[in-house]
Structure 1
Amino acid sequence: MMAIRLSLFAVLLSFMACTKAPEVKLISSTDKNPWVEKELAKPSADDLPQVVVNIDTNKQEQTITGFGGCFNEMGWEALNMVTPEEKQQLLNDLFNSETGCKFNLCRMPVGANDYAVDWYSHNETEGDFAMANFSIDRDRQRLVPYIKEAQKINPEIRVWASPWCPPSWMKHNKHYACRADANQNDLAPELSSTEELVSRFITEPEYFQAYALYFSKFVKAYAGEGIKIEAVHVQNEPNSAQNFPSCVWKPQDLGILIADYLAPQFQKDSIDAEIWLGTVERPQIERVDDVLQYKNTMDYVKGVGFQWAGKGAIESVHAKYPDMQLMQTETECGDGSNDWKAAEYTFSLMKHYFENGTNAYMYWNMILDETGKSQWGWKQNSMISIDSNTKKIKYNPEFYLMKHLSAFVQPGNVKLAADGDTGNVLVFFDEAAQQVIVLAYNEKDENSLLTLNINNKPVQTELIAKSFNTLVVSI
């Protein structure tokens, strides 16, 4: 068996020697040894598990628009715990277009989200339908400087925004939360509800009109800070009644907001920010249809964003609306474990979303303190953790996993359809550079042998156990 195996490998090497050998860059990460540039490795044994992937660069699917995370207030607070030099290094590691993750497309909240320091909106003056008291002064403390620091590193970074909650006076219960929680908010129990498909927003014309104006003023105010808002997603998780800032919407009411108020307001005010339906967190395509099929909403919605259980809807939405831009808007953020198991799960999400048409992939909290705890009591993962006591910086496994894609797959690249043993492989193509980018995860507790047949030309290497690997193959 050993002789046959070595003979076959010799034949493969002989074939490769007779053709132009592709140039290959290989980066490998394990839990204990991340981000190591390696040489292609010959098989070290004759019984390695085989992974064979066939790649045809003509089998092109969706175009990739980018990768990123969310600018959150608590991330900025964590960043400011370290020295200026360390802070600059952290920002470079996320946004530098040569050595970092090369993040180019990032999210921000409109008003408070669950990782804000506390609740606020940009206008808490009840009855101010003219938005005379609209202000982003609060954002100038944290979010604006956070984004501006990223812009210094990558001036081309694109920012999109979504509200978790409108001004509280626009809701029936006059409170930022939908669900009462005696430990985390002061919402009266009688005003609490977890019912879905019933709008908590006051669906009267003057409220719709004021909210459309609120969005418009937000985009204009950020333009005044030198920050272009590329798109707004009209509501974070419109089906989720949370103990933190949230607002449940009936889908048809979101259609009314978009088609009858928001789009006309943007046109009136010459706002060129795109309007997206997001962020969808339920698996039922009917809830997407009920928004998009309202009157002429489809004329205005440029894309649909999905997160959490929304992953169950993306396949059917992509099939029904094949020309619609799709985004994974918030990778599932775990429970603060920040471990290898979390990275493995995130890889499975990446695989699912990209195989079902997504054009962009967002992490959630890029940076948090060591607790990962929000002001409303729950823990989440982050790419980077900073210990609030020792100020020690830790790059978590998901940092490296994100970088395994974002540092190599650039806007304008396309996803390729591959066949063979593709269960733990994603393939992309940079046509301009004539490079195939492969992210391969070896889930096994032993090394495996990966063979890539790219346009019928083989590239082969041994992958170490429990590792994420990016191969950049120049063809």
Structure 2
Amino acid sequence: MKSIKLSLLVVALASVACTKTPNVKWVSTTNDARWEEKEIAAPSKDGLQEVVLNIDTKKQQQEIEGFGGCFNEMGWEALGMVTPAEKQQLLNDLFDTETGCKFNLCRMPIGANDYAVDWYSHNETSEDFAMENFSIDRDKQRLVPYIHEAQKLNPEIRVWASPWCPPSWMKHNKHYACRADAKVNDLSPELSSTEELVSRFITEPAYFKAYALYFSKFIKAYEQEGIKISAVHVQNEPNSAQNFPSCVWKMQDLGILIADYLAPQFKADSIDADIWLGTIERPQIERVNDVLQYKNVLDLVKGVGFQWAGKGAIKDVHAKYPQMSLMQTETECGDGSNDWKAAEHTFDLMKHYFKNGANAYMYWNMILDETGKSQWGWKQNSMISIDSKSKSITYNPEFYLMKHLSAFVKAGNVKLDVDNDNSIVFFDQVKNEVIVLAYNDKAEDCVLNLNINNTPVTAQLSAKSFNTIVVSL
């Protein structure tokens, strides 16, 4: 048989080989046939191309923390377009711990992000350094109920938060955007800038102190709503001057925020949320170093989060700071195509991030209307689309790709090394199972031969198919 290159993401949950015939569960998805349960059988025809994958469950690497997406205002608005029964089914399909994607680690914004209904922060009262007017009342309309619905299905779900922009009065230009765009914002061109590594935040002690208090009050306010914020990432994309809510930072100033203000504020207020350096969207490790090597920041942060071009930095960061937790914080969102090609791209991202030390993988918009368009003009992909006119619901290919992984891989699994450049393996001594997520990227069927601790399993994979194969040893 001919040998071909097959993209494989492999998740192993066992190490003890046994002599009995293993039990196998197999789910397959193509663009035309979604989430089909299959049975292992001999190949249906001869001459198929073959791939051999050897798995040794003793070759352990990083531990997995989980999978999820982001709670965004526009997602909640889209959910409001369908019937109560349909809405519940959509929520079940994302969060139910038996039949859904089983999302256990999700993101949310602190104030408005680009998929908010419009701009807001939790305190737009200028120079209110004591945060007397801080309020999450806006979030009680959309984000709080969205998270509450997820909690009903998974009470153990963890939520982490990040700001796209501080209160506008804390920025030099007094505006939520950094880049003027007459089509979508009213920022004056003379106050617009796309320069990186220059803080738009007013880096004066009173502002730093007030911003640290802002984070603390946010966490406490959510705790009052029954939602524990497990971690904060200090700034979404600190190098990106956007026409939507954003704030560019000099990286050393993020170190000052963390070490001199945020961590002390959390300690004073008995806040136990983790602090992360995130979300990093540039490939230069030097920018990460500028933060982590300021004073004692390295001891104060739990991990580093990466998205977009930040994927170019994760390998070097993992090598330099092997003790750090690493997260893929926002899968690349495309242009609203919601097609098979987008799922293939996301699969490539998954392979890259897990290969280079990521402990978790986040989708971006879980649900949007059919346009996928933000209030600031960017049309993006989502796992699920709801047509605003017909109210029809479409589960896009990336929904199934995420489920092929998140429905089977649990927190606590440990990544394993395998003898295939396109493979990722995870291990759980308790379950004694191997889970293989394999993509046949060819236009014809192929045969996948697994060798798991010397236990063989063979499956014939359909052309252009994602396959999750669960092997109980």
TM-score, scaled relative to structure 2: 0.96
Q: 1:439 aligns with which of 406, 425, 437?
A: 437
2:457 match? 459
2:321 matched to 1:321? yes
2:57 match? 57
Deviations 1:329-369 (A, max 9, x none): 00000000000000000000000000000000000000000
For residues 250 and 47 of structure 1, the distance between their equivalents in structure 2, rounded to whole angstroms, comes to 58
For residues 396 and 457 of structure 1, the distance between their equivalents in structure 2, rounded to whole angstroms, comes to 35
For residues 407 and 153 of structure 2, the distance between their equivalents in structure 1, rounded to whole angstroms, comes to 15
- Do 1:105 and 1:158's aligned partners in 2 also have CA atoms closer than 8 Å? yes
**Structure 1 residue 45: deviation in Å?**
2.7
2:81 match? 81
1:375 match? 375
For residues 260 and 167 of structure 2, the distance between their equivalents in structure 1, rounded to whole angstroms, comes to 20
For residues 474 and 43 of structure 1, the distance between their equivalents in structure 2, rounded to whole angstroms, comes to 21
- Do 1:426 and 1:440's aligned partners in 2 also have CA atoms closer than 8 Å? no
Correspondence 1:132-281 to 2 at 5 A:
132-281=132-281
2:348 match? 348
1:12 match? none
Deviations 1:274-331 (A, max 9, x none): 0000000000000000000000111110010000000000000000000100000000
Counterpart amino acid of residue 426 in structure 2: F
**Structure 1 residue 428: deviation in Å?**
2.1
2:426 match? 428
For residues 49 and 391 of structure 2, the distance between their equivalents in structure 1, rounded to whole angstroms, comes to 43
Counterpart amino acid of residue 224 in structure 1: Q
RMSD: 1.1
For residues 455 and 211 of structure 1, the distance between their equivalents in structure 2, rounded to whole angstroms, comes to 53
1:125 match? 125
Counterpart amino acid of residue 141 in structure 2: Q
Segment drifting more, 47-56 vs 381-390: 47-56
For residues 42 and 200 of structure 2, the distance between their equivalents in structure 1, rounded to whole angstroms, comes to 61
**Structure 1 residue 20: deviation in Å?**
1.3
**Structure 1 residue 408: deviation in Å?**
0.3
Correspondence 1:277-316 to 2 at 5 A:
277-316=277-316
**Structure 1 residue 60: deviation in Å?**
1.0
Query: How many residues end up aligned between the 2 structures?
Result: 458
Counterpart amino acid of residue 456 in structure 1: N
For residues 116 and 465 of structure 1, the distance between their equivalents in structure 2, rounded to whole angstroms, comes to 39
Aligned partner of residue 61 in structure 1, secondary structure: strand
Aligned partner of residue 470 in structure 2, secondary structure: strand
**Structure 1 residue 46: deviation in Å?**
2.4
- Do 1:428 and 1:438's aligned partners in 2 also have CA atoms closer than 8 Å? no
Deviations 1:389-435 (A, max 9, x none): 00000000000000000000000111111114x42x43322321101
Counterpart amino acid of residue 376 in structure 1: W
For residues 223 and 436 of structure 2, the distance between their equivalents in structure 1, rounded to whole angstroms, comes to 38
Counterpart amino acid of residue 85 in structure 1: A
Aligned partner of residue 419 in structure 2, secondary structure: strand
Aligned partner of residue 140 in structure 1, secondary structure: helix
**Structure 1 residue 19: deviation in Å?**
4.0
For residues 253 and 424 of structure 2, the distance between their equivalents in structure 1, rounded to whole angstroms, comes to 38
Counterpart amino acid of residue 187 in structure 1: L
Deviations 1:3-45 (A, max 9, x none): xxxxxxxxxxxxxxx9411111111000110101100132223
For residues 52 and 189 of structure 2, the distance between their equivalents in structure 1, rounded to whole angstroms, comes to 57
1:9 match? none
Counterpart amino acid of residue 461 in structure 2: L
Structure 2: where are the runs of 5+ without partners? Answer: 3-17
For residues 234 and 70 of structure 2, the distance between their equivalents in structure 1, rounded to whole angstroms, comes to 16
Deviations 1:43-85 (A, max 9, x none): 2232211111000010111110000000000000000100000
- Do 1:108 and 1:162's aligned partners in 2 also have CA atoms closer than 8 Å? yes
2:6 match? none
- Do 1:429 and 1:437's aligned partners in 2 also have CA atoms closer than 8 Å? no
Counterpart amino acid of residue 445 in structure 1: A
Aligned partner of residue 311 in structure 2, secondary structure: helix
- Do 1:123 and 1:133's aligned partners in 2 also have CA atoms closer than 8 Å? yes
Deviations 1:409-466 (A, max 9, x none): 000111111114x42x433223211011111000000001001100011111100000
Q: 1:471 aligns with which of 454, 458, 469?
A: 469
Aligned partner of residue 279 in structure 2, secondary structure: strand
For residues 80 and 212 of structure 1, the distance between their equivalents in structure 2, rounded to whole angstroms, comes to 34
For residues 19 and 238 of structure 1, the distance between their equivalents in structure 2, rounded to whole angstroms, comes to 53
Counterpart amino acid of residue 462 in structure 1: Q
For residues 113 and 259 of structure 2, the distance between their equivalents in structure 1, rounded to whole angstroms, comes to 25
**Structure 1 residue 176: deviation in Å?**
0.1
* Aligned-pair identity (%): 80
For residues 318 and 26 of structure 1, the distance between their equivalents in structure 2, rounded to whole angstroms, comes to 33
Structure 1: where are the runs of 5+ without partners? Answer: 3-17
Deviating above 3 A after TM superposition, structure 1's stretches of 4 or more consecutive aligned residues are none
